[in-house]
Structure 1
Amino acid sequence: MTLQTQLTQIREATFARAPQSAIEALNDSITNIKTSKQEEQALQPGEVMPDFELVDIQGKPQTIRQLHTQDFLILNFYRGGWCPYCNLELRAYEQLRNDFLAFGADIVAISAEKNTLGVQTADKNALSYPVLTDADANMMKAIGIVFQLDEATKREYQNFGLDLQQIQGNDHYELPVPAIYVLNKKMEVVFMHFEADYMTRLEPSQLLEILKNQLQIQVI
């Protein structure tokens, strides 16, 4: 079963029981991201990824460069361990990690959730690759993939029992647009995938095929 098939099943099950107000708020949020053309303002292929210091699940500072030990490094920016779509994606990358390593690429997952919650995300998804916290989404803001929740979406998240203030340790109500960046050894972006609809993700197997076919600077 593909990742997208699993994501679609979750979406259908969620929307089947969600109130209409929630469905409208979530769809409007996605539409707003698409119409804002935020993807065009984000860090692009050919540009250099800034080397931010993040925090791992042990509370230890780590820079992107320190973690970049292969020919390529895949940065998976996800919303948080509370997001079922993100959990499926994280597991899908874990299942193919050895295949990625065979082609000289490793994976790092990054969110703005507190590192104590990152521990839970890593454990429940049995992740062997690093899970990092970008406190206050500073790195994600710098590369242009953060958006602020509107009031309607805030209310619906609260109705779902999601307390982003507690999850992220601030009152910013900001989330990353799910994005995949691939860096070469020079920290240059050689591939990006920006997904305005968080219920849709790039298939890890598709990215693996791109790596197999000698990755060049590109965006899909």
Structure 2
Amino acid sequence: MTKHDPDTIYDRLIGTLVADLHRRRAGHDAPREGSVFPAFRLPDERGVLCDLSQVLARGPVVISFIRGQWCPYCQEELASWKNAIPALQAAGTTLICITPETGGAAKAIRSSVSPEFTLLCDVDHGLSLSLGLAFHLGQAFIDQYKADGVDLAAIYGSAAGILPIPATFALDRDGVVRAAHVEPDFRIRAKPDDMIRALAVPAKG
């Protein structure tokens, strides 16, 4: 147990970080509603490559970028997606969660949620960077995490100090973004019901 008040320290660090990300318009260039989500291919937790086009061939897709199971806010989001699996299945929608974690950590995420979703590993944050969803956390935050036992370099296999902005996209079967939740404040996550509802509404035009 640390001797400091972790809530006070993290509240201050989060406030500074979020304000800076908003000032820099982090995530502004991410895919928007009405755009076609860029094609990608990523490995799953077993190392098997998965192509977005192949998943879309089966129907609509919800894509959620998370930081990893080490993050308590991601744990809450994963729990909400676990509860939403039946509704996603009823809507014929596939859930894809994308994390920078690999190996055993990625397998742990999959086992904690459901076999009925796809977990992909964004190695070295390549996809997040290409979509404008990655940012440098800053040394103060990195040091505080490490002091509290969260070593991002060990978790991600890189000392770059990069994290993804948690973001969620609902894609129709043509890959068009029907809803997008991109929020630099990583405490605020998309609601599964909103994503499912967006896919149920007929496309305009």
Secondary structure at 1:186's aligned position in 2? coil
Given the superposition, is the C-alpha separation of residues 84 and 77 from structure 1 closer, same or farther in structure 2, using an over 3 Å criterion? same
1:40-59 Cα distance to aligned partner (Å, 9 max, x none): 22222233222222111112
Report the AA paired with residue 129 of structure 2: K
Is the Cα–Cα contact under 8 Å of residues 60 and 199 in structure 2 kept in the other structure?
Answer: no
Deviation of 1:141 after TM superposition, in Å, equals: 0.9
Name the TM-score, length of structure 2 as normaliser. Answer: 0.88
1:19 Cα offset (Å): 5.6
Identify the residue that residue 200 of structure 1 maps to in structure 2.
188
For the aligned residue pairs, the C-alpha RMSD in angstroms reads 2.1
Matches within 5 A, 1:144-183: 144-183=132-171
Structure 1 equivalent of residue 130 of structure 2: 142
Deviation, 1:68, is 2.5
Correspondences of 1:29-108 after superposition (within 5 Å): 29-108=17-96
TM-score between the two structures when normalised by the length of structure 1: 0.83
Equivalent of residue 114 in structure 1, options 99, 102, 107: 102
Runs of 5+ consecutive residues of structure 2 not aligned to the other structure = none
Matched, 1:28 2:36: no
| Matching residue's letter, 1:205 | D
| Native 8 Å contact 1:90 1:125 kept in 2 | yes
Unaligned runs of 5+ in 1: 1-15
Q: Which residue of 2 aligns with 1:189?
A: 177
With over 3 angstroms needed to count, the CA separation of the structure-2 counterparts of 1:122 and 1:145, relative to structure 1, is: same
Over 3 Å counting, the alpha-carbon distance change for 1:158 and 1:54 in structure 2 is: same
**What letter corresponds to residue 19 of structure 2 in structure 1?**
T
User: What secondary structure is seen at the aligned counterpart in 2 of 1:41?
Assistant: coil
**Residue 174 of structure 1: how far off its partner (Å):** 0.8
Q: Which residue of 2 aligns with 1:209?
A: 197
Report the CA distance between 1:66 and its aligned residue.
Answer: 2.2
Letter of the aligned partner of 2:55 in structure 1? L
User: What amino acid sits opposite 2:191 in the alignment?
Assistant: E
Letter in 1 for 2:43: V
TM-superposed deviation, 1:70: 3.4
Partner deviation per Cα, 1:152-195 (whole Å, 9 max, x = no partner): 11111112211111111112111111100122223222221112
Deviations 1:85-134 (A, max 9, x none): 11111121121122122223210000111133100112233453111101
Instruction: Tell whether the 8 Å contact from 1:55 to 1:115 is kept in structure 2 after alignment.
Output: no
**Misfit runs of 4+, over 4 Å:** none
- Equivalenced residues, count: 202
Tell me the percent identity: 24
CA distance in 2, matches of 1:158, 1:85: 18
Q: Which residue of 2 aligns with 1:10?
A: none
